């Protein structure tokens, strides 16, 4: 029997189903398999009923037969639960694989696991690609952002399919191209995928994407909170503001859906008077990728404080019962709504933009640390380009990041690119004003204010860490360097025993 499928896919939950259909729509024959075979038969039946590409999708209930029917060297995508399920699935495929076959993990794996799996599989003569897949269910179906990491040889084999199924953006404006009619690849569009680097680099970059997604969402929520609690605006009114922001520099998928969410009426209220968002419980869930990003930033000593704040903000939101009880005890200021609505809305827009620049600067700074730590060479212009379409953080703004890194590949920090420097200079007064007002009103804006602390810290030639080193040396003999001596020379003073000099205070 001749193998008939160009590629295989294991794991037929929604992401797997949609990615399989996307691949079939682009003219590839695909074999699919799921641990529970009922899912496979249901999917095949539903394909036959609804999908023009159904003849290109073959379902298998026997893993050996599934593997046998894929052309060699085989490419097998995994879209199973991250963690042990991925290892179990790899183990179940292994006895049936042959030299140079490639396993592609499209799940949300921790990059360290991907490094380990790549090592294990390549030692056995197979290849392993860990590919971030972003864009949710719709992205998987009609064009995700794809962040693959693995050997260059394995990538060369996967690349044509990955480029075909990825989202496409306009090469000049960076805008996502619509009309991704199944089976008709967008001519001239730049695909939102490229080889990120070896082993875990793809999953690492996907993780940072998610960390940035956390802070992007939190910043938007803080802008909403200010308009609601400081200006007394209704959800619908705020939604209209986001609509207008979506036409400018802040234009992005998240701003667009925020405008939509805020203007949604409550379907349970027949009077049509209430907005659904006002009925949604204010406790945020999380699956862990934001936490991974923050934890990794702590491990690498990279100052990604705003990204971490976004994770903590979700954690605080989850303490609903405690917050409700505390609201009866701990009192803040009671100020009337601010009157100068239009001026303050414009200032909030500036605060959001400045904070967003800092958040992305932190994400890229973290990736710069990671490339040193894990021995990767990352292309930041390409990473920003991959994020222009398909994924959750897609935004007009990312084109500016691509431009910045294209002009200066060794740029130390995004804030030092002239476009972003100017944007921060132009808008920082409003940013400070908004945070000042928020503080006066007692409205928590952890992401706005920690982004500003990052900006103010980064642009400070002198920080109070001189005193900190004094403290460390005082109680722990940790030594200090002196500003009037070369770097690398360390000093210690027996602070308590050294007689006090008479310094005039």
Active site residues: 206, 213
Does residue 81 touch ligand 2AM according to CB under 6 A? yes
Contact in structure between 355 and 431 (CB atoms under 8 Å): yes
Q: How far is the CB of 77 from ligand 2AM (least distance, A)?
A: 12
Tokens 């893993």 appear where? 63
Does residue 11 touch ligand 2AM according to CB under 6 A? yes
Tokens 């990615």 appear where? 19
Q: Which two tokens stand for residue 265?
A: 């009426």
Which residue stretch of 7-15, 119-127, 202-210, 468-476 sits at the interface with ligand 2AM (rule: CB under 6 A)?
7-15
Nearer to ligand 2AM, 67 or 398 (CB): 67
Nearer to ligand 2AM, 92 or 408 (CB): 92
Give, rounded to a whole angstrom, the gap between the first and last alpha carbons of the chain.
91
Does residue 426 touch ligand 2AM according to CB under 6 A? no
Contact in structure between 101 and 73 (CB atoms under 8 Å): yes
Q: What does 418-480 look like in DSSP terms, one character per residue? A: HHHHHHHHHHHHHHHHHHHHHHHHT---HHHHHHHHHHHHHT-S--THHHHHHHHHHHH---B
Q: How far is the CB of 12 from ligand 2AM (least distance, A)?
A: 5
Q: How far is the CB of 89 from ligand 2AM (least distance, A)?
A: 5
Q: Exactly one of 25, 26, 39, 374 binds ligand 2AM (CB under 6 A); which one? A: 39
Q: How far is the CB of 39 from ligand 2AM (least distance, A)?
A: 5
Q: Exactly one of 34, 114, 365, 430 binds ligand 2AM (CB under 6 A); which one? A: 34
Q: Exactly one of 12, 77, 115, 231 binds ligand 2AM (CB under 6 A); which one? A: 12
Q: How far is the CB of 28 from ligand 2AM (least distance, A)?
A: 20
As a whole number of angstroms, the distance between CA 159 and CA 154 comes to 9
As a whole number of angstroms, the distance between CA 91 and CA 66 comes to 15
Contact track, ligand 2AM, 88-127, x by CB under 6 A? xx--------------------------------------
As a whole number of angstroms, the distance between CA 342 and CA 348 comes to 10
As a whole number of angstroms, the distance between CA 95 and CA 92 comes to 7
Does residue 351 touch ligand 2AM according to CB under 6 A? no
Per DSSP, what are the bridge partners of residue 60?
Answer: 33
Beta strands in 107-248 (DSSP E): 127-134, 145-149, 168-169, 190-191
Q: Exactly one of 4, 36, 407, 466 binds ligand 2AM (CB under 6 A); which one? A: 36
Q: How far is the CB of 13 from ligand 2AM (least distance, A)?
A: 4
Does residue 481 touch ligand 2AM according to CB under 6 A? no
- What residues numbered 51-80 form the site for ligand 2AM, per CB under 6 A? 80
- Name residues whose C-beta falls within 8 Å of residue 7's C-beta, 6 or more positions apart in sequence: 23, 28, 29, 30, 31, 70, 75, 76, 77, 161
Compute how many residues bind ligand 2AM; rule: CB under 6 A.
12
The residue ranges that bind ligand 2AM (CB under 6 A) are 11-13, 34-36, 39, 80-81, 85, 88-89
């Amino acid at each position: 029997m001749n193998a008939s499928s160009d590629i295989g896919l294991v794991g037929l939950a929604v992401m797997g189903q949609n990615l399989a259909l996307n691949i079939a729509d682009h003219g590839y024959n695909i074999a699919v398999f799921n641990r529970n075979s009922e899912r496979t038969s249901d999917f095949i039946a539903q394909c036959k009923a609804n999908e023009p590409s159904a003849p290109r999708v073959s379902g298998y209930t026997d893993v050996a037969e599934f593997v046998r029917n894929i052309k060699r060297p085989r490419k097998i995508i995994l879209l199973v639960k991250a963690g042990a399920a991925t290892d179990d699935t790899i183990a179940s495929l292994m006895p049936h694989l042959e030299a140079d076959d490639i396993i592609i993990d499209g799940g949300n794996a921790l990059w360290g696991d991907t490094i380990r799996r790549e090592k294990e599989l390549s030692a056995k003569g197979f290849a392993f690609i860990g590919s971030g897949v972003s864009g949710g269910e719709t992205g998987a179906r009609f064009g995700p952002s794809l962040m693959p990491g693995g050997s260059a040889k394995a990538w060369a084999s996967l690349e044509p399919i990955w480029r075909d199924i990825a989202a496409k953006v306009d090469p000049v404006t960076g805008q996502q191209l619509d009309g991704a009619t199944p089976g008709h690849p967008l001519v001239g569009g730049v695909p939102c995928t490229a080889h990120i680097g070896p082993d875990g680099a793809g999953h690492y970059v996907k993780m940072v994407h998610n960390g940035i997604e956390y802070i992007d969402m939190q910043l938007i929520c803080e802008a909403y909170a200010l308009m609601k609690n400081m200006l007394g605006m209704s959800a619908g009114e705020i939604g209209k503001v986001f609509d207008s922001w979506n036409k400018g520099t802040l234009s992005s998928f998240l701003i667009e859906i925020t405008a939509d969410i805020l203007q949604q009426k409550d379907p349970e209220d027949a009077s049509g008077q209430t907005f659904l968002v006002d009925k949604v419980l204010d406790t945020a869930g999380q699956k862990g990728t934001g936490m991974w990003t923050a934890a990794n930033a702590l491990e690498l000593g990279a100052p990604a404080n705003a990204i971490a704040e976004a994770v903590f903000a979700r954690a605080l939101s989850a303490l609903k019962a405690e917050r409700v009880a505390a609201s009866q005890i701990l009192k803040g200021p009671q100020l009337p709504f601010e009157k100068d609505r239009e001026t303050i809305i414009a200032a909030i827009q500036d605060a959001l933009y400045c904070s967003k620049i800092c958040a992305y600067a932190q994400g890229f700074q973290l990736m710069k640390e990671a490339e040193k730590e894990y021995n990767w060479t990352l292309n930041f212009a390409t990473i920003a380009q991959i994020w222009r379409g398909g994924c959750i953080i897609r935004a007009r703004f990312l084109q500016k990041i691509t431009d910045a890194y294209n002009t200066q590949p060794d740029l130390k920090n995004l804030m030092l690119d002239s476009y972003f420097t100017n944007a921060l200079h132009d808008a920082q007064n409003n940013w400070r004003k908004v945070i000042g007002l928020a503080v006066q009103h007692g409205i928590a804006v952890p992401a706005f204010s920690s982004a500003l602390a990052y900006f103010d810290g980064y642009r400070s030639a002198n920080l109070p860490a001189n005193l900190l080193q004094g403290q460390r040396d005082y109680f722990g003999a940790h030594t200090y360097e002196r500003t009037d001596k070369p770097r690398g020379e360390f000093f210690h003073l027996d602070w308590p025993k050294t007689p006090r000099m008479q310094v005039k205070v």
